[in-house]
Amino acid sequence: MRLSPRTRLRRMGGHLSPRSMVTATRLLRVRMLNGALSLAACTLTLVPAGAWALNVDQVLRVGEQQVVSRGDFVRAAVKLLNLTATETDASLPYVRVPSAMEPYVRAAHEKYALRAFGKDLQLARSITRGQAAQVLAALHSLEGDGDTSYEDVDANTDEAKAIAAVVARGWMEPQRANYFGTRRVLKGDEAQSMLRRALGQSDTEPAELPERLERQKAQAQTITINLTGGTTSLPKQAILETVWQLIQSDFLFEDNIDADEAAYRAAEAIVQSLKDPYTSFLRPAGVSSLNTQIDGEVSGIGAQVEQRDGILTVVTPLRGSPAEKAGLLPNDEILKADDTVLTGLDFLQAVEHIRGAQGTRVRLHIRRSGAEFDVTVVRDMVKVPEVEITWQGEIAVVTLLQFGRTTDTLLRGEMEKIEAQNPRGIILDLRNNPGGLLHAANIVVSNFVRKGSGVAQIISREGERDDSTEFTPTISMDIPLVVLVNEGSASASEIVAGALQDHERATIVGTKTFGKGTVQQVVQFNDNSGMKMTVAEWRTPKGRQIDGAGVTPDVVVEYDADRDVQLLKALELLR
């Protein structure tokens, strides 16, 4: 699989043919090769939603002026291009290949991308600019004309052809008009820049955001994935094709044949077969909804919901929302909207029955702890303020309502202002916070622990990695911290609470959290449909499992409808 900077995708015209019935014409261009489905191209947009999506800075973690090793560059390029070797048992013609590097070396070897290093790869050695150009050009199967005006590059060599290819595409630049700098070692900032450009990502970082936060804003980026290295067959493909062919040729009610609807339902059925409540195919309206939620706007009743075992379940009502005013609580199951049964519907179909125009009413049939009753909610537009800061005497109360872009980019500045006022203590209120961006959780933790402290263990099919803080703390270590949580604290909220608890930096007060310990990635197709898919599980820095278990507070304080006894307990601990 190769990533290309192209961002457009040609669509098949006309009706869906029997040979390609399973994949929607609006999703990707397909052609048949010997009975197997070959994916020619598919445009994806990586949309952050509490999800973990690889980017250059995460994969190639080096300082701007740090020398990049051969091994680090090859591993980063192979991972970012999502390349895998087709032959995993064949012997490699190299000496001293570490076992951890073997998958990346195999994938690069099959693309003839390691010829610049010889038989002894010496992966710990620094990589030169010329070698990096050859690796990247080979991984993309690119070759220039070999003519060169650079005095340090021999014409018509593999190096000259690679340099011509990467310079022509703007991935690298010569150091002077007639001097490429092919023997100069590659530094971190240039390595990350050339990889971003090769992936078609933005390589600009506005100066007004401190500590290089611009790359962390988690804005959507569009890339094209070319699947030219093999074929992908659909399960029971022949049967599915035959079913579609029979429908096209013999089904009586021809007006009922809708190719797009058939394709969407096929995609939904494939995803539903995974039996994961957090993985779903998203029709076009669904991806837009996720984007606006991360931006802090929620329409409808104003409740964060998840589908669990086919039942729409309230994670938390947003503060001040119609859902909260109507008395909805975390873990309420929404069985009906007006007269429509929601159980068993696709997640977004169920949600669409609840949403509606501002000022309209929806009657919800709720199941709570076995009892069932109706609640009428007046729909409204809800703007999530994300961060609220108040003071209780000398104690700062920082309330986070979700982990969106505001938290990701602005919270550290607000915490610096709190530090300047020399507080007696800080209360971080994460109650009814449904989560959001994974990196925003990292930002929150970074305010209270030393740089490089663990935030979470991320476990995926590719292996395990540790997510650690990247910035120095804004709050002095001697300022006590209490974190408030409840059953509506989910996902990123649990990452923060679990990390601060593991580091013994905070006292956790309240009730056990929701227990969502998985990471979702959202990919968006070129017709604005997409898929939200579980790609990883996270655990606390000490390896505690959160999924299905939640975070247990150090001090358990049950909810009291008459007064905020949880906040009162936090204040008591700090005074």
Question: Catalytic amino acids?
Answer: 491, 502, 516
* Side chain identity at residue 241, one-letter code: E
Sign of the torsion angle spanned by Cα atoms 508, 514, 517, 519: negative
CA 484, 488, 491 angle in degrees (round to 5)?
90
> Who contacts 556 (Cβ-Cβ below 8 Å, separation ≥6)?
510, 511, 512
- Report how far residue 460's alpha carbon sits from residue 52's, in angstroms, rounded to the nearest whole number: 10
In degrees rounded to 5, what are phi and psi of residue 6?
-65, 145
- Report how far residue 188's alpha carbon sits from residue 174's, in angstroms, rounded to the nearest whole number: 17
> Who contacts 436 (Cβ-Cβ below 8 Å, separation ≥6)?
49, 50, 294, 402, 403, 404, 407, 491, 492
555-556 and 507-510 strand pairing: parallel
Angle subtended by helix axes 129-139 and 102-110, to nearest 10: 70
Helices (H) and strands (E) in the chain, counts: 15, 23
Secondary structure (DSSP) of 126-179: BPBHHHHHHHHHHHTT---------TTS-TTSHHHHHHHHHHHTTS---SBTTB
* Side chain identity at residue 114, one-letter code: L
> Who contacts 111 (Cβ-Cβ below 8 Å, separation ≥6)?
83, 138, 139, 141
- Report how far residue 566's alpha carbon sits from residue 220's, in angstroms, rounded to the nearest whole number: 38
3-state secondary structure of 427: strand
In a 10 Å sphere around its CB, with 0-12 CB exposed, 13-18 middle and 19+ buried, how is residue 33 labelled?
Answer: exposed
